[in-house]
Structure 1
């Protein structure tokens, strides 16, 4: 089945206290987003859509180094949240028939095999996402599940006290 990836790279990264777009901060000598694009390209997708926003020109310059026709850049002119960012990619996927993986541009440690497994899991379910557990979940969104069934995803700011105690967190990678 055909595969497309949507990489969300519109965030400002205010917690980093920098004017540089979050996805352009370097880790292991390269911008965060290049690690993500490399992992995405390793899956040989039909297309990759990068949604930019804050610092669009700088992010575009970084992405254009790939010279890949399968990479499209879409601009989220107003940063109205993750759901809105995904909606900006919708037009680029109108003629696409296949699986779509949505991921953040600031997740450089995702392995290509993890993304491949996520995509393969779609053959068995309608939705697949990556979560993680941690003793100190901080301000991550929480995955509310009953058994092996995901009931909902709740952002930290919207979570009740009992939901904030849940240690199963949303990684932001879903297919």
Structure 2
């Protein structure tokens, strides 16, 4: 019986430090959309770096069949649990995962700025706030459901790390200008 309670306590501790899909909960639980993506000065710092980006487009009208097991797995993982066409349609869209690192302890904001096909040059943004961030992190952003279906595919994006109102880390798509 003691082992059961120890296992339960360790599981509770593990879920307290990590959210869904292993996202570190030092940041906000959910990204929040900001009204206007204000222009910030660029002051890149070697203490902050983006390590890896994973981008997935989930749209059966655009996606072609793939022989790559990892692509097929990601598609099935995203659609897992959708029981009817309404739930599947709500999961259509772009999924972005960004892996980044901070070498020193500081308060950071991760902002994802993007343009969608039907909105032209209009820039939208979502962001997470991280308090005392040091180490490796993963931030997930998604454009799904009605927002994706009405406004179209994401045609350009950039993700920035913001410290004290300055951009200290940057990663962007080829089409971002």
TM-score band, normalised by the shorter chain? under 0.3
- Higher helix proportion (structure 1 or 2): 1
Q: Which has the higher contact order (CA 8 A, sep 6+)?
A: 2
TM norm structure 2: 0.25
Which has more radius of gyration? 2
- Higher strand proportion (structure 1 or 2): 2
TM norm structure 1: 0.25
